[in-house]
Chains A and B, each alone.
Chain A
Amino acid sequence: MPRCTLNGLKSMQVYLPIAEISVNLYLLLGLGGIVGFLSGMFGVGGGFLMTPMLMMIGIPPAVAVATEANQIVASSVSGAIAQYRRGNVDVKMGIILLIGGIIGSVLGVQLVKLLREMGQIDLVIKLTYITMLSIIGTLMLIESLNALRKAEKAKGGGKAAAARKAGSHNWVHGLPFRMRFPRSKLYISVIPPILVGVAVGLLAAIMGVGGGFIMVPAMIYMLRMPTKVVVGTSLFQIGFVTINTTILNAVQNHTVDIMLALILMSSAVIGAQLGARAGSKLPGEQLRVLLALMVVAMCVKLAWGLIATPDELFSFAAGGE
């Protein structure tokens, strides 16, 4: 009977209790694995790739955003532990960033509520993505390509001239409330890291991402932290901020789908471990070029989505379905 083949196909499908749809299991596992790999390699939560992908396969946006936060908890904890073992986490800096992150995410949740009532949350999410990604992507690409060129020149010259810009100072270093961060070899004011944390928490709540893609460049270019500790420290902060976001969403919106999160996690944690390994073997400058290219590509994709004439002018409003 054809019933048998039907059952064979069915076993690949999994019904998600909170998203209330049925999705192909292998598709979810594949997505989780790829995004997890990138997450471990670059120290980004991967949410800015995963959240739009989940929406594309039909998960309601509210569920995608909330569940992604839950999944990022797993991949960032796993990634942070792997980085911690290599001595790549600046816990002191992480806690300062986290204080800002909690403030930011609480503010962000209020803002999301307001925008949702106005019916403009989707547009704001996309425009925020495009703005953030275009600025960061372009800056990173230029900067990392320059660094790559310098590193190559230095290799030719013999001595490592581009070792670290330890002596370089910017406005960040003139602020009060200075604190010593031995792991990062920094003595700077706590104001910039707290502000970075607030910005990341705010964006995390609006965009349903961990926020690593903004925090990593901010740590490198603004706080001047060594590239080595940047990845681990950002994973440390993301882990705690997403724990906060998951619980807030579960309480207020009932949009966390444990089933979906579990499936994504199971492949993402493995991907994150492999990614962390691959990352530690590749030189930092090349990693940054790769990340910059990825960010620019996502940005172009999103912008095109807003500019191109849509096939269907009507769409269901979030929560109205």
Chain B
Amino acid sequence: MRFSILLFVLYRILRRAARKNRAYGNYIGSIHSVRIMIKTEKGGRGRLFLFDRGTVTSRRGSGHAYDAAIVWADAGTAFRVMSSRSDEAAFLAAAAGKMKLDGMAFFAQWFNDGVKIAMPG
């Protein structure tokens, strides 16, 4: 549950940043139709983030088509690592096989870099 709430809060932060944060607005600016999924491996939890020409929208659930996905072994690890906002924690999760990328790895990196710009403080 905490993971699903985290994803929803992340969506709200990104949506607000797209409108109010000039740097983030520039970052996602002109890109057409990129779909990023964040989900658990078994698909029990997930959320799709859609970026299209400066806008961010989102859909709940893990069953949507995507260009890149960040796939977590379990919701607990996902919450712990994502809420830590630590690159090293994400790296160690990948090394432990707790986080994998599917599809276009670059877009996952692009998404994560964007989150850093969008996050307050």
Partners in one complex: no
Using a CB–CB distance below 8 Å, which chain A residues touch chain B?
none
Binding site for A on B (CB under 8 A): none
